[in-house]
A and B are shown apart, each in its own frame.
Chain A
Amino acid sequence: MDKILVGLKRVVDYNVRVRVKSDGSGVDIEGAKMSINPFDEIALEEALRIKERGEASEVIVVSIGPSEAQQQLRTGLAMGADRAILIETGETIDALTGAKILLEVVKKESPDLVIVGKQAIDNDNNQTAQMLAALWDRPQATFASKVEFSDGVAKVTREVDVGLETIEIDLPAVISADLRLNEPRYVKLPDIMKAKKKPLEQIPVADLGIEIGEQIKEVKFEAPAQRQKGIVVQDVAGLVAALKDKGLL
């Protein structure tokens, strides 16, 4: 296989507890720590391992986002990606637009494989892989926990509700990474230095000729219903009594 394209989204770090703005106009992420979407680190790690096994020759990381997303792309380069592409836009883009943008990159680069995360932990959409595969008219293997290749075919094990499903897909194809696909490597300091010299191409989204607009409008944000802290019982007898009280035993 020649090229693998990996989607890296810049998202609020998973440790940050975001809050809704008091006027309901959005979530307050001002100054919050930003990171690579955790599933995308896994996607990149898988691509790097495929390359290190000698089964691919180049790994390209792509992000659609603001200029600051260069930081996440640099981290991706430090992890081991060969080059990076930033499709620059200051606007929030929906999943279909994101997939259309990725399709443009796919047309330009003709990768044999695209690996993205199963979901972005900000919008929790879980759509991009499926939409890109549909628009590209190629196979999809979502929620992957194991991937093997032979002769232009990928055998993918998927985490499904009842267990593990295995499917076979012809390349090129789109795979979305689940949590147990691998454990991403840590970035080492010398690699961060080296990554500074790797190519990072910036393309304004306008150059792709794709209309950016919100089909589905986000009209109001609110905090979720909070569960109240309940009682603390002293021992097992207390627990059994409390459960009986609620008619649960």
Chain B
Amino acid sequence: MSKILIIADHDGSNLNAATAKCVACANQIAGAEIHVAIFAEDGSAVAAQASALDAVSKVLKVDNPANKSPLAAVIAPQVTAIAAGYTHVFGASTTFGKDLMPRVAALLGVNQISDLMEVVDAHTFKRPIYAGNAIVTVESPADQITVATVRTASFTASGQGGSATIEFAAVTAAIPTHTRYIELKAGKSDRPDLQTASTVVSGGRALGSAEKFQLIYDLADALGAGVGASRAAVDAGYVPNELQVGQTGKIIAPELYIAIGISGAIQHITGIKDAGTIVAINKDEDAPIFEIADIGLVGDLFSVVPELQAALK
């Protein structure tokens, strides 16, 4: 039988929605017993949220002042210490999970399955490679612990009708002091979160400047949407890095994705493949984005977007 440990992603007070998707993934393994571990200074609030997730039977709270900040070097040895007895250890493919889980895997002496996108059975999974140009089925040895990060865009979050028991877990592990947290500069925004928004409006290089990118923000606000961007728009400094969508940015699955002035490079497309409906607005009718768009509109964004904005009023 599978016994799965999921490492919660949180900010100290709120459980990241990615963790609920991770639970949904684990729950696709038949008969799995699912536990969620919370590494925090005081994980009470997060534990309460995790205990409400369907399919979770136990929440382990690992409170320690050293766990105040999400440092992989600090948390990995503690995960390793409680991993014994589990068949699988999963984390979300968030920057926290991507940073932490391979360190855990190496300490456990195993490889990691990155970006797990489909469960075939307890030891057989699918994952994307080559920027999503190929999907590979992998088999992890049944006599080893399976460590994986879960591609959250591939799973629908677990429901919230659960009531798992919450336990305090005492962990003995040597915690290094060679890695110290200084600060987090988080982009402040009242807009829906890019990773969970049902509608996302993204802008590309065509916007031309940070000032003109306001067009994208305005349209997003009219739609109650989150905002994303291509790498070119981020590199050019129109928007901060956390808005990048794609192979090396965020992988998202909104119901509606509107790409404006984005050419549709494979590295961008790989981040939006799971969107419900893709709309593309681009002045070049041969732009590759039109090959995958459900609704295409050929036109100059500087006239189309204000017009669309007006039409939404």
Residues of A near any B CB (own CB < 8 A): 12, 14, 17-20, 27, 94-96, 99, 118-119, 121-135, 137-143, 145, 155, 158-170, 173, 178-180, 215-225, 227, 229-240, 242-243, 246, 248-249
A99 to B256, CA, bound (A): 40
**Given the interface contacts A159-B95, A179-B231, A248-B255, does A94 sit within 8 Å of B133 by beta carbon?**
no
A20 to B311, CA, bound (A): 44
Q: Please name all residues of chain B whose beta carbon is closer than 8 Å to the beta carbon of A141 when the two chains form the complex.
A: 179
**Given the interface contacts A94-B111, A95-B112, A130-B102, does A246 sit within 8 Å of B182 by beta carbon?**
no
Which of the residues B95, B103, B139, B277 comes within 8 Å of A160, measured between beta carbons? Answer: B95
Q: Name the distance in Å between B259's Cβ and chain A's nearest Cβ.
A: 13
Most chain A beta-carbon neighbours within 10 Å: one of B99, B106, B242: B106
Instruction: Verify A127–B293 contact, CB threshold 8 A.
Output: no
Minimal Cβ-Cβ distance residue in B for A156? B182
Which of the residues B94, B101, B279 comes within 8 Å of A243, measured between beta carbons? Answer: B279
A243 to B105, CA, bound (A): 45
A-B residue pair count with CB separations less than 8 angstroms:
246
Q: Name the distance in Å between B266's Cβ and chain A's nearest Cβ.
A: 7
Which of the residues B102, B182, B235, B308 comes within 8 Å of A127, measured between beta carbons? Answer: B102
Chain B contact residues, majority secondary structure: mixed
Is B176 at the interface (CB under 8 A from chain A)? yes
- What are 8 A-B contacts defined by CB distance under 8 Å? A20-B133, A133-B103, A160-B242, A161-B242, A215-B140, A224-B133, A243-B279, A248-B277
Is B206 at the interface (CB under 8 A from chain A)? no
**Given the interface contacts A140-B72, A180-B234, does A231 sit within 8 Å of B185 by beta carbon?**
no
Minimal Cβ-Cβ distance residue in B for A99? B106
Instruction: Verify B103–A131 contact, CB threshold 8 A.
Output: yes
A234 to B299, CA, bound (A): 9
Q: Please name all residues of chain B whose beta carbon is closer than 8 Å to the beta carbon of A166 when the two chains form the complex.
A: 182-185
Question: At the interface with chain A, which of B31-39, B43-51, B124-132, B165-173?
Answer: B124-132
Residues 81-125 (chain B) with a chain A CB within 8 angstroms:
94-96, 98-107, 109-115, 124
The interface bits of chain B over 176-217 (1 if a CB of A lies within 8 angstroms of the residue's CB, else 0) are 101111111111000000010001000000000000000000
Other contacts beyond A163-B242, A230-B293: 10, CB < 8 A = A160-B96, A162-B186, A165-B183, A180-B234, A218-B137, A218-B138, A219-B139, A223-B134, A231-B294, A239-B279
Instruction: Verify A127–B112 contact, CB threshold 8 A.
Output: yes
Most chain A beta-carbon neighbours within 10 Å: one of B76, B128, B179, B242: B179
Q: Name the distance in Å between B180's Cβ and chain A's nearest Cβ.
A: 5
Q: Please name all residues of chain B whose beta carbon is closer than 8 Å to the beta carbon of A240 when the two chains form the complex.
A: 308, 311-312
Is B30 at the interface (CB under 8 A from chain A)? no
A243 to B199, CA, bound (A): 12
Which of the residues B130, B240, B304 comes within 8 Å of A121, measured between beta carbons? Answer: B130
Number of residues from B at the complex interface, CB < 8 A: 86
Q: Please name all residues of chain A whose beta carbon is closer than 8 Å to the beta carbon of B98 when the two chains form the complex.
A: 126, 142-143
Q: Please name all residues of chain B whose beta carbon is closer than 8 Å to the beta carbon of A217 when the two chains form the complex.
A: 138-139
**Given the interface contacts A14-B267, A163-B186, A163-B242, does A236 sit within 8 Å of B131 by beta carbon?**
no
Instruction: Verify B102–A229 contact, CB threshold 8 A.
Output: no
Instruction: Verify B231–A124 contact, CB threshold 8 A.
Output: no
Is B273 at the interface (CB under 8 A from chain A)? yes
Instruction: Verify A167–B140 contact, CB threshold 8 A.
Output: no
**Given the interface contacts A121-B131, A229-B290, does A219 sit within 8 Å of B277 by beta carbon?**
no
**Given the interface contacts A163-B184, A232-B297, does A215 sit within 8 Å of B248 by beta carbon?**
no
**Given the interface contacts A12-B130, A217-B139, does A162 sit within 8 Å of B112 by beta carbon?**
no
Is B66 at the interface (CB under 8 A from chain A)? no
Instruction: Verify A224–B135 contact, CB threshold 8 A.
Output: yes
Q: Please name all residues of chain B whose beta carbon is closer than 8 Å to the beta carbon of A123 when the two chains form the complex.
A: 129
Q: Please name all residues of chain A whose beta carbon is closer than 8 Å to the beta carbon of B135 when the two chains form the complex.
A: 221-224
Instruction: Verify A231–B241 contact, CB threshold 8 A.
Output: no
Is B157 at the interface (CB under 8 A from chain A)? no
Nearest 6 CB-CB pairings of A with B: A230-B294, A130-B102, A134-B106, A127-B102, A131-B106, A220-B137
Instruction: Verify A215–B277 contact, CB threshold 8 A.
Output: no
Instruction: Verify B295–A239 contact, CB threshold 8 A.
Output: yes
Instruction: Verify A142–B311 contact, CB threshold 8 A.
Output: no
Is B144 at the interface (CB under 8 A from chain A)? yes
A99 to B111, CA, bound (A): 10
A85 to B160, CA, bound (A): 53
Which of the residues B138, B241, B267 comes within 8 Å of A159, measured between beta carbons? Answer: B241
Instruction: Verify B311–A124 contact, CB threshold 8 A.
Output: no
Instruction: Verify A179–B293 contact, CB threshold 8 A.
Output: no
Q: Name the distance in Å between B176's Cβ and chain A's nearest Cβ.
A: 7
Q: Please name all residues of chain B whose beta carbon is closer than 8 Å to the beta carbon of A164 when the two chains form the complex.
A: 184-185, 240-241
Is B162 at the interface (CB under 8 A from chain A)? no
Minimal Cβ-Cβ distance residue in A for B77? A134
Instruction: Verify A216–B231 contact, CB threshold 8 A.
Output: no
Instruction: Verify A221–B134 contact, CB threshold 8 A.
Output: yes
Is B298 at the interface (CB under 8 A from chain A)? yes
Q: Name the distance in Å between B86's Cβ and chain A's nearest Cβ.
A: 17
Q: Please name all residues of chain A whose beta carbon is closer than 8 Å to the beta carbon of B183 when the two chains form the complex.
A: 165-166
A32 to B273, CA, bound (A): 25
